[in-house]
Chains A and B, each alone.
Chain A
Amino acid sequence: MEQSGTSALLQGAVQDLSSDVASVLRDGGHVRLPDGALDGPEAGHAITVAAVRVLGADLLLPHVLSRTAPLPDTLDAFQRTVETFPPRSDAAPTVVWSHWAMGRTLHRFDGTGTATAEPDADWLGTATWQLLTHQLAVLAPLAVPGEDSAVARAARGRPVDVARGFVRAVRRRDWLQAAGAGRWLTLLDGVPQTLGLESGLDFVELMGGGDPRVALQLEAARAMRWAGAPV
């Protein structure tokens, strides 16, 4: 019971944070954590930090795109999360990369984080188009205009495969993966015109936009398209 209760709390916290980031991407302003989220009992603190970890670098995406400074509390929570969850030596590549992306974002805003060397991304070069798209969707926080990485270079090298993955995700009604893949596609050259990306993203919103995590990815894709910058 305790596990499922904690899991539900974390899920709720992730949804709330995603909603907030999506609305800031759409309307401007600052990403805010719930009042006292980091000052309350230890359990609540842990939930917030864990939720920030799930969002990863996307917590501060509105500030990256708008080149504005995040609120000190938000940046503090972000920093604490980076420090609390260093990847284990046997962590999956996506976990390692997610942490690296957070470190890069932290370094951008406070200069105190270390800009560590990029992890290895060779596994993406040999991945099937299905796995490639799945992994890129998990690593959607790395899809940011002007922010290069080995993951972004792997995506740039396989635009048709990512487009195929988007089609597969829509067909499977996996809206979160579709939205993440769609966000990458917004940044890639060489995407087949017949994909119909813009109406595809609208369709994903229509069908799956009720999930704040999906909405965040779609708002990110829109914001980046308006920015118009390549990866």
Chain B
Amino acid sequence: MTSAVDAGWIRDVEVAALAWISAHRGDFALDEDAFTVEGAVDLTWKPLGELAQTCVSVGRRTPPADPLHACVRDLLAFAWQQTGQGELFLRLQRLEPFATYPLEVYSVFAGAGFRHAGYEAAAATVARTRGWRLTEQEPTRRLGLLNAERRSGIHRPEPAAQALGRTWLGGLPEPWAFERTAGYALTHVVFHLTDWGRTAEDVPDDLAAYLSQWLPPWLDTCLDAGMWDLCCELLIVAASLPRPPDTAMLHDAWTRLAHAQLDSGAIPLNAPDTADGPDEGFVHCYHSTLMAAFAAALSVDHLTRGPEARAQDPQNRYGGQGVPG
């Protein structure tokens, strides 16, 4: 089994996943539920933001001439259009000025060069208050907010290390204490530290060594449990570290994920626990399918280009700002 063959398999998973996402892009569209105080954020802004983040990250790791690059650029433009080219973040802020999720979603676009000066000015005004800075959050979410502020041009006098030290991962816990909740917390710590796979060098050495040591058993047992969504996030983490991921681990994981992928291209959140077959609905599939595409893009990049080529990439060396393409 060569790396080249592995990359081909993994790319097949990515192509099918992006085809499903493209076919379901209408399900990511915002409706009026997105603009009510008690709105269902998890079913409106959250999926749209995750779509945008995946497209930004996949685009960074996919050569411009690749048809998949055009695919994610098109999806990202669609997502930006859904926000009214950023205008709707202002409407959202007027509804909930101290809610952090509008800025967290906006920052995905801002990090890719899609900016709205009026919203940034308004967000900066609120972000200067003590009330905003004292928003009570879990440490992992706080790291995410700090990254969102950075991407949006907001500078807060609080080092990320302070929040990092209070996360599950930052404390280097016993690896056998890993469970689903801890898993999602740790993947997001790495996402925020590395700006979603862009800056591997921002993972402190002790964390990088810890993750390299323990990702294999975490991934293996999540695969056994059919936790496809978390598996994909762990694969993203593995590809976001200074050292390249273990190829045997990648091969095993992608073999099993390819098997879990439905004919439609979707990958369900988890394996069905009944004999009824998988739930192919949008809500059950969209996140894991996004994460599969993201993880696949990173794995293919590692297997085909290698770390030296990525180090030469100006986009990775100089911060990766700018619209993909």
CB contact under 8 A between A172 and B213, given known A167-B176, A196-B174: no
B221/A194 in contact, CB under 8 A: no
Question: Which of A83-91, A158-166, A223-231 touches B?
Answer: A158-166
Cβ-based interface call for A171 (8 A): yes
Q: How far is the CA of A166 from the CA of B210 in the complex (A)?
A: 15
Contact of A160 among B173, B174, B213 (CB under 8 A): B213
- Residues 158-212 of A at the B interface (beta carbon under 8 Å): 160, 163-168, 170-172, 192, 194-196, 199-200, 203
Cβ-based interface call for B5 (8 A): no
B224/A167 in contact, CB under 8 A: no
B91 smallest CB distance to A (angstroms): 46
B213/A194 in contact, CB under 8 A: yes
Q: How far is the CA of A192 from the CA of B216 in the complex (A)?
A: 14
Q: How far is the CA of A166 from the CA of B213 in the complex (A)?
A: 12
CB contact under 8 A between A165 and B217, given known A128-B248, A172-B224: yes
CB contact under 8 A between A200 and B213, given known A168-B220, A168-B221, A172-B221: no
B116 smallest CB distance to A (angstroms): 43
Main secondary structure of the interface of B (DSSP, over half): helix
Cβ-based interface call for B9 (8 A): no
Q: How far is the CA of A128 from the CA of B248 in the complex (A)?
A: 9
CB contact under 8 A between A168 and B217, given known A194-B174, A195-B175, A203-B176: yes
Render A137-167 as a binary contact track against B, CB cut-off 8 A, 1 for contact: 0000000000000000000000010011111
A166 neighbours in B (Cβ, 8 Å): 176
Q: Considering only CB atoms, which chain A residue lies closest to B216 in the complex?
A: A164
Contact of A164 among B217, B224, B248 (CB under 8 A): B217
Interface band, chain B: 10 to 19
Cβ-based interface call for B172 (8 A): yes
B178/A171 in contact, CB under 8 A: yes
Main secondary structure of the interface of A (DSSP, over half): helix
Which of A165, A166, A192 has the largest count of B CB atoms less than 10 A from its CB?
A: A192
B173 neighbours in A (Cβ, 8 Å): 194, 196
Q: How far is the CA of A163 from the CA of B176 in the complex (A)?
A: 10
A171/B213 in contact, CB under 8 A: no
A200 neighbours in B (Cβ, 8 Å): 174, 176
Can you pick out 28 interface pairs between chain A and chain B where the beta carbons lie within 8 Å of each other?
A: A128-B248, A163-B213, A164-B216, A164-B217, A166-B176, A167-B178, A167-B214, A167-B217, A167-B218, A168-B217, A168-B221, A170-B176, A171-B176, A171-B217, A171-B218, A194-B172, A194-B173, A194-B175, A194-B210, A194-B213, A194-B214, A195-B174, A196-B173, A196-B174, A199-B174, A200-B174, A200-B176, A203-B176
What residues make up the interface of B, taking CB atoms closer than 8 Å to A? 172-176, 178, 210, 213-214, 216-218, 220-221, 224, 248
Beyond A167-B214, A195-B174, A195-B175, 18 additional pairs, beta carbon < 8 A: A130-B220, A163-B213, A164-B213, A164-B214, A165-B217, A167-B176, A167-B217, A168-B220, A171-B221, A172-B221, A172-B224, A192-B213, A194-B213, A194-B214, A196-B174, A196-B175, A196-B176, A200-B174
10 nearest A-B pairs in the assembled complex, by CB-CB distance: A196-B174, A170-B176, A171-B221, A167-B217, A168-B217, A164-B217, A167-B176, A167-B175, A194-B172, A192-B213
